[in-house]
Structures are given as structure tokens and as C-alpha cells.
Amino acid sequence: MSCSKRGHTSLAGLTRQAVARAVRLAIGIGGVMAATMALATPTDIDTDFADSQVLIELPETPPLAVRPGTSRGLADQVQTLLQQARSSGDPRYLGYAMTQLQDWPESAIDHRLMILRATLNQSLHQFDQARTDLLRVLEDTPSPANYRQATLTLANLELVQGRYPAANQACQQLKRQYHDLVAQNCLAQVQARTGQPAMAYQRLQVMLRSIPSQGPGIQAWTEGTLGEIAAQLGEEVALDHWHRALDLDPNDLYTRTLATDWLIQHQRFDEALELTAGYADVDSLAVLRAIALTRLQHSREAEALIDSLKQRFEEALWRGNLLHRRDYARFLLDVTFEYLPALEQARLNWQEQREPLDTRLLLRTARAAGDTPTVGDVFTWLDRNGQTDARFGRPADEG
């Protein structure tokens, strides 16, 4: 009796899943087709521009034509390019760095270049390739600096992907080598996501006060981490940490995104606009800005920004890589209200990245789309890691 009942239920469940998958697929394809339709006509060519008109301000770009002759020269250049990519959020610099590294013979790639290549690959969401390079450096390098750097980068990679035991191992390794604020940051992040956020917050707070500063970069990073943990605990003080981090490093786009997201979640749209002013080029901040503009009914600016974002996502779909699924899913969920395509994107994003922002996005899209099994799956994973977050809501929360 019970056996047959169970069989029946699972069969129905399977069918329902299959139907849901088919619907999702159809809608996904429909979405892509709709996106491509808008691109059907090339724009008209403007032949009538004045000689004196300034068409574009060129950004500072290192002389790419001059290829460095030594691996050290190359590493310096790649490092500069990656730094530019980070502070501007402009993926063209990643492309330049990629070309520089690809032109260098594989046999001449040293450990420092390997770490930089891993950093690049992580930025391109090629996590497995990044991990391979880092593990090789950890195995072979005689240099403590390279070892430490590879450990830190690996810890971050594992943390982003939600592989907490591996992240913890790397952080412990850092701490054994050099017990400083870097190691403490690393450990605090892992602890916070595995059930001990309050303790992690207190310890890091104490460390920040007691250890002499290792420079504004590390201080800003620590404030950012404190902000994240405070937000996870649902503490308003998160915003203070983030503001301090942004004062030290205004180009920390990720911290800016987290802070804006928090403001929007608390319906503080005016402050969200302030924080995103001048950052409409950055996809994640542009999406959040579009949400704030829509909620405040600033319809003209919202419309222009939404059009621009649509074009960007369409082009990313067309090119077939570098689609920022996290941002695209958020856009579909909160701007165009297309829940099923949003869920599909959020799900694909969560397969790669499991930071709280990604997890919350998947939960919200799944709830909006009425996909209770997915909500259940996410909470199962969270429970397994002991992760709690005030921003997630409870398993049974609707909407």
C-alpha cells in the first residue's frame, strides 16, 4: 500500500518535473529568440558628424603592441591589466591580458604567471582551469610568496563556489604560514558561511583593531568582509562597514553591489541611487539602479537604462560567453518580471557560484516562479553547511 503510493507520487513528480523543464526550455528559447529579433536590423549609419565633434574619450591602455621580453615584464603587464579590469569592471582588459598570456610559450609560464592566469580564468568563470593552475603552483613552487598567493586565491575560489571544507583547508594553511589579517579574513568568511557568523564577526572585529594595518587594501577588504557578515546576521551596521570600505577603495565594485542590494532590500531606493550614480556601465550596479529607478517611478531615466541593459544582455546572448547570469537573472526577476527565464538563469549561475547573493537570487526566483522543490534543494544545501542568512527568508516564505 505505502509502497505503491510512494511509486505513484514519484512518478507524478517526475512528470511534473519534465513538464516544468520543457516549459522552462521553451520560454528560455523564446527569450533568446525575442532577444535576437530586436537585433534584426542594423542601425543606420550616421555620416553627418562634425569634424570638431569629440566622438570618444579613449581610456588609458598600456601599449599592447610592445610585448614584454621577460616573464617578469609580462607578469607586471598582466597584473596591471587585471587590476584595470577590476577597478573599471571593463572585460576588455581581461581580453588583453588573455592575449598576452596566450602569446607566451606554455613552457615559459612560471609560477607567478600561473597565479595570474588562474586569477584571469576565475574572472572568466573557468573555475576548473583556475583550480588546476593553483594546485600546480602549490605543488611545485619554492617561493613562499607564490605559495601564499596561490593559497589565498584558491581559498577565494573555493569560497565563491561554496566548497567550504576546501576553502577552510586553504585558510588554515594561510594562517599556519602567516597569522595576519589576510588569514583572519579568509577564516572569518568560511566560518560565517558554515554556521558561526556571530563568532566570525567578533573575532575579525577584534583582529582589525589589534593588528597593525597592513595597508588600505587589506583594511578595505576587512571592512567589506565585516559588512558581509553583518548583513548575513541582519545587522544594520553592515552599511557602515561597506561605506568605510568604499571610502578606502571606491572602485570595489563588489562591495558597492552588496551595499546597493541591501539598500534595495530595505526599500531605501534614494540611497541606492546615490550609491550607483556614475556606475551605469557596470552591469550589476546598472541592474540595481534600474530597479531603484523603477520603484521611485523615475520613468524616463529608468526606460533609457533598461533599454541599454536589454541591448547588453542581447549582445551577450549573441556572443555566447561572458553573459553575467547573476545580473541577467536579477534583471529578468525584478525589472521585466519574467520569472521562469529568471529562474533558469539563476539556476545556471548557482551551479557556478554560491555566494549569498547568488543563493538569495535563486531562492527569490524559485519562489516567484512557484518552484517549491528548488527552494527545498537550496535549503537542504544550506542546512548541510550550517549556513544561515537573514536575507534568505525561511524555507516556507512565499514571494
Partner 1 sequence: MQILRLLPLLILLISADRAYAHKASDGFLYLDLGANEPATLQVELALRDLALVIPLDQNRDRQVTGEELRLARPDILNYLQSHLTVLASTARCQLIARQWGLTRHSDGPYAATRFQLDCPGNALPSTLQYHALFDQDGLHRGLLQVNQDGDIRLTALTPEHRSLTLDAPTSPVWSTLVSFLYEGIIHLLIGLDHLLFLLVIMLPATLISARAPSSASDNRFLSGLRDLAAIVTAFTVAHSITLALAVFKVVTPPIAWVEIIIALSVALAALNIRWPVLGEKSWKLAFGFGLIHGFGFASVLAELTAGTTQTVAALAGFNIGVEIGQLLVLAVTFPLLYLMGQRRWYREAAVPAVLVAIIGTSLFWVAERTAAI
CB of 170 to partner 1, least distance (A): 12
Instruction: Report the nearest approach of partner 1 to the CB of residue 370 (Å).
Output: 30
Cell numbers describing residue 253 = 565594485
Decide whether 284 or 359 has the Cβ nearer to partner 1. 284
Name the residue nearer to partner 1 (CB basis): 69 or 278: 278
In the complex with partner 1, the residue whose CB is nearer, 246 or 375, is 246
CB-based contact 306:280 (threshold 8 Å): no
Amino acid, single-letter form, for residue 128: D
Find the length of the chain. 399
Give the nearer residue to partner 1 in terms of CB position, either 111 or 367: 111
The residue with cell 546576521 is 233
Shorter beta-carbon distance to partner 1: residue 17 or 36? 36
- Beta carbons of 357 and 327 less than 8 angstroms apart: no
Instruction: Write down the least CB distance from residue 279 to partner 1, Å.
Output: 8
CA distances from 21 to 27, 197, 342, 345, 349 (A): 10, 36, 14, 13, 17
For partner 1, the closer of residues 191 and 374 by Cβ is 191
| Residue 115 cell numbers, joined | 597565479
Q: How far is the CB of 180 from partner 1 (least distance, A)?
A: 9
CA atoms within 13 A of residue 268's CA, in its CB half-sphere: 13
How many other CB atoms sit within 10 Å of the CB of residue 303?
Answer: 13
Q: Cβ 237 to partner 1, closest distance in Å?
A: 21
Minimum gap (Å) between residue 3 Cβ and partner 1: 49
Write phi, then psi, for 68 (nearest 5 degrees): -60, 150
Minimal distance, residue 395 CB to partner 1, in Å:
27
Cβ count near 380 (within 10 Å):
10
Reduced to 3 states, what is the DSSP secondary structure of residue 369? Answer: coil
Between CA 229 and CA 20 the distance in angstroms is 36
258, amino acid identity: L
Nearer to partner 1, 9 or 351 (CB): 351
Q: Give 238 or 369: the residue with its C-beta nearer to partner 1.
A: 238
The amino acid that residue 35 corresponds to is A
Q: Residue 385's closest CA among 190, 138, 180?
A: 190
Q: What angle do CA 344, 345, 348 make, to 5 degrees?
A: 90
Phi-psi sector, 327: left (phi>0), alpha (psi -120 to 50), beta: alpha
Q: Which is nearer to partner 1, 305 or 343 (CB)?
A: 305
Q: Is 100 exposed, middle or buried (0-12, 13-18, 19+ CB in 10 A)?
A: buried
CB of 387 to partner 1, least distance (A): 19
CB of 5: closest distance to partner 1 in angstroms?
Answer: 47
